[in-house]
Amino acid sequence: MKQTSLEPVETIILDCDHILSYAGGDSEQLVRLCANFLRELPIHMGALRIAFKHGETFAAERALRLLDNCLVVLGSGAVSATMEALQSGLRCGNTRQVRREWVRIQELLQQIVPQVQRLMLEVTSPRSAVQ
């Protein structure tokens, strides 16, 4: 059963300049960072799902920190704020807040993943000469 957010999630537009800057201006490094994000994201999201399902707060906090490290390259303020709210809910034992922020994180990531994939494609696609 998929939960939906009570309030609309804002549209996220990746800051490609931030990501390129994080990659040191190196387009190959940018592609590696994006590939690592796409590879690690399902791992950390799966770990969070399992931790939430079993009520394991410590495991959820650990998975959340790893996910946050994975997302730092993207520099998205909305995702960072939601991650902080989720972590706060975990620490306080506020299950309502945890549920709300978990749904929100999933919705935000559904916007981010295709943008990261598109960015990788744009960077790796050969540019043809204008004739």
| Overall number of domains in the chain | 1
Whether residue 3 is contained in a domain is answered as no
Domain membership of residue 106 (yes or no) is yes
pLDDT digits (tens, 9 = 90+) for 54-88: 989 999 999 999 988 888 888 767 788 888 999 99
**Is residue 21 in some structural domain?**
yes
- The mean per-residue pLDDT over the stretch 23-28 comes to 90
Residue 87, in any domain of the structure:
yes
Domain annotation covers residue 128: no
Q: Kindly tell me the burial class for residue 39, based on how many C-beta atoms sit within 10 Å of its own C-beta (0-12, 13-18, 19 or more).
A: exposed
Containing domain of residue 75, as a range? 16-117
Query: Do residues 105 and 78 touch, judged by C-beta distance below 8 A?
Result: no
Pick from 14, 124, 6: which is nearest to 79 by CA?
14
Determine the average pLDDT of the residues in 89-95: 92
CA dist., res. 47 & res. 69, Å (int): 14
| Residue at 131 is within a domain | no
Predicted TM-score of the model (pTM): 0.79
Distances (CA, A) of 39 to 32, 35, 103: 10, 6, 21
